[in-house]
Amino acid sequence: MNRFAVLAPGFERLSYPLDRHDAADGSAFSERSERFCLSRAQSEEHAQMALVSAGGLSEHASEPVGYVCAGQGEIFVVCRSSGRKGKEIAHDERRAFSTAVVKRLAALHTEGLGCGGLSPEAVEFAGKQAKLLSPLRIFALAEGDSVYYEAVSTLRALVSSGVATEGEMPKLASAYLSHSPVCRHEVAQHLQKKGRKGTARDELVKSAMKIIPFF
């Protein structure tokens, strides 16, 4: 049984389903043919930040419309979902989906934002665009954060989940690098420091195949 819910104007109707729906991370419910997903927040303050900053992140993540406090006191952000999750993607759409995921990562990095890497389960796919299911995963990149690691773990997650094949990795790495000048620069520096030859794309693919799947 949930304790309370805070809802944005226009979404007051969700107070009924949220009363009946036991909140849990990753759970979803439908209301008037719209789908809503719940994502765990660290605290009520984090959930409030997601609500207030929703406008600035709408290009990258699904829209938060409120949050709910579960019986144990855990807070979950409620987001309006307009796409399909990774596991719902048809076989013939997988390539477009994978490309959309790496382009989303590149767009985040170009704006100085990080997300810890993207797994197919963390994004939704609609209109050839991939968006994060929860805006809570987005953070401002700091000096020491590595966009390279996020790119490598994303590529690895796409392959290990079966959404992309190993053979598609170079193309996905190219798609990411062509949209992410930040990471391209970082890899070029890394290669130079190590005195290695080769392209940024090859280095990215090689690293992705070396790491143990994180997601």
Partner 1 sequence: MQGMQEFFRLKAGKEDFGGYLPLFSRPASGVRPASVSAVAIGGRKFTRYRYE
Binding site for partner 1 (CB under 8 A): 1-10, 12-13, 15-16, 18-20, 48-49, 51-52, 66
Q: Check if the beta carbon of residue 7 is closer than 8 Å to that of residue 31.
A: no
Shorter beta-carbon distance to partner 1: residue 10 or 127: 10
Count of CB atoms situated within 10 Å of the CB of 41: 23
Q: Nearest distance from residue 51's CB to partner 1, in Å?
A: 6
Q: Alpha helix (H) ranges present in the chain?
A: 15-20, 44-52, 54-57, 94-110, 147-160, 169-179, 181-194, 200-210
Shorter beta-carbon distance to partner 1: residue 20 or 194: 20
Q: Nearest distance from residue 78's CB to partner 1, in Å?
A: 12
Q: Nearest distance from residue 113's CB to partner 1, in Å?
A: 19
Q: How far apart are CA 78 and CA 14, in angstroms?
A: 10
Q: Check if the beta carbon of residue 67 is closer than 8 Å to that of residue 47.
A: yes
Q: Nearest distance from residue 47's CB to partner 1, in Å?
A: 9
Shorter beta-carbon distance to partner 1: residue 34 or 121: 34
Q: Check if the beta carbon of residue 213 is closer than 8 Å to that of residue 157.
A: yes
Shorter beta-carbon distance to partner 1: residue 13 or 128: 13
